[in-house]
Amino acid sequence: MKQLSLNKLINIIIFFFILSLYIFVFIEGLSLISNIISLLLIFLIWTNFLLSKRKLVFNNALLIYLMFFLLVIISIIFSINQDAVIIQIRSLFFIFLVMISLVNYIDTIDKLERFMVSFVYSGSIASIYILLSSDFSTLIRFGDQLGNVNSVGIIIGIAATFCIYFILEEKKYWYILLLFIMVPTILLTGSRKALLFIILNMIIILYFRNRKGFSNKIKFVVIGLFILLVISYLIFNVPIFYEIIGNRVENLISFIIEDSNEEASINVRNQLTSFGLEMFKDQPLTGYGIDNYKYLLSSYGGGNFYSHNNFIELLVGTGILGVLVFYLLHFVVLKDLFKTAKNNKYKTICYTFIAIIISYIVMSIGLVYYNSKHFSILLAVGSIISRVIVVESRRKTNGL
């Protein structure tokens, strides 16, 4: 009975922890609230672990993340600004504690889905807060109340992706209402990355669910085209969406086709990438210390900007080895998820996590996320889905 009560308490704290990632983590000074909640979560999970006398789980994903963490520590030797490295070491260590805690707590489909539901509700709450607190009389990008609008758009995209899972797999059709709140909010952030993120996730999930059989493939093509047409209509024909994101999408398309554009952010980011590649050539093995790109750029008179590119940020920060180890983590988790998805009734859960991980890899060229709490815990949880399904199957076989 005590064990059951403790599990319920942990599930509640997981929800408030994830909610804090949406509401507090990007706001300077308020991230402390999220850290306090995460410390409470870690304490409760390990108390539960000791009481239940379970075996410690330390899988390949955690091992690879630990290797990446060690490379980050080593990067301080080559850093321009050691204080910046120390800050990232603290942050990544804290993330690692949460990752290993969740890996050792989530052991049933029920716990896994409660974890996913926490994202859905947190993304919905964040969306409602943004919509209620925004000034619709001025057509500027929404979401800066909660931090960087690109980051806010993407994490709401995570919630929307999990929402799609529950609609498709669990038939929770009232979640469509939540989706109708979150998707417009994503568009109103004006984030092209967030728009690409949610489109990619929907397309990937639908593809893997419908890739077998001719009729299913036709179904995928029809639904996929319908999604693209609806989103295209919204961003190019609805004035509020066009002013905030539609013209930004047009600028990006113009840059890709014509290799030139007047939008400052696109040109600046292209220059930041070029600078990073040049610096990487000088120190390809060691890099210049994690989170030191902006200090390196500043020393060359380029301003105090980070690279806006995960590949470049890691190439410059930790060298080629850091990049390889970090993305090895992605591919190990993806490989396990693809293997688990074969002939399994829980395959849509696997496809959902596969979609999110692939989308993050694609967005690496325009997003820095090696230190993202949201994505790190998703990778950790994604790495244990196969084990959770095996345990769940055994329980059902034994009639538990």
Give me the mean pLDDT over the 140-166 stretch.
91
Predicted local distance difference test score (pLDDT) of residue 148: 84
Predicted local distance difference test score (pLDDT) of residue 3: 60
Residue 133's CB: how many other CB atoms inside 10 A?
A: 11
Residue pair 276/312 in contact (Cβ under 8 Å)? The answer is: yes
Predicted local distance difference test score (pLDDT) of residue 102: 97
Average pLDDT, the chain: 89
Give me the mean pLDDT over the 227-241 stretch.
90
| Rounded-to-integer distance, Cα 173 and Cα 289, Å | 48
| Rounded-to-integer distance, Cα 130 and Cα 141, Å | 11
Residue pair 184/245 in contact (Cβ under 8 Å)? The answer is: no
Amino acid at 54: R
Residue 82 clears pLDDT 70, i.e. is over it:
yes
Predicted local distance difference test score (pLDDT) of residue 215: 87
Confidence band (pLDDT; 50, 70, 90) for 155?
A: very high
Residue 1 clears pLDDT 70, i.e. is over it:
no
Predicted local distance difference test score (pLDDT) of residue 179: 95
Predicted local distance difference test score (pLDDT) of residue 2: 55
Amino acid at 206: L
Q: Which of 160, 168, 166 is nearest to 186 (CA)?
A: 160
Predicted local distance difference test score (pLDDT) of residue 30: 76
Confidence band (pLDDT; 50, 70, 90) for 138?
A: confident
Confidence band (pLDDT; 50, 70, 90) for 358?
A: very high
| Rounded-to-integer distance, Cα 27 and Cα 32, Å | 10
Q: How far is CA 246 from CA 114, 231, 253, 392, in A?
A: 35, 10, 11, 45
| Rounded-to-integer distance, Cα 64 and Cα 315, Å | 17
pTM for this one? 0.93
Residue 386 clears pLDDT 70, i.e. is over it:
yes
List the single range of 153-162, 190-199, 237-246, 252-261 with lowest mean pLDDT.
252-261
- As a whole number of Å, the end-to-end CA separation of the chain is 16
Residue 263 clears pLDDT 90, i.e. is over it:
no
| Rounded-to-integer distance, Cα 292 and Cα 295, Å | 5
Residue 228 clears pLDDT 60, i.e. is over it:
yes
Residue pair 336/386 in contact (Cβ under 8 Å)? The answer is: yes
| Rounded-to-integer distance, Cα 398 and Cα 400, Å | 6
Confidence band (pLDDT; 50, 70, 90) for 397?
A: low
Number of residues assigned to the chain = 400
Residue percentage of the chain with pLDDT more than 70: 95
Q: Which of 395, 18, 346 is nearest to 382 (CA)?
A: 346
Amino acid at 81: N
User: Higher confidence at residue 29 or residue 384?
Assistant: 384
Give me the mean pLDDT over the 272-297 stretch.
90
Predicted local distance difference test score (pLDDT) of residue 89: 96
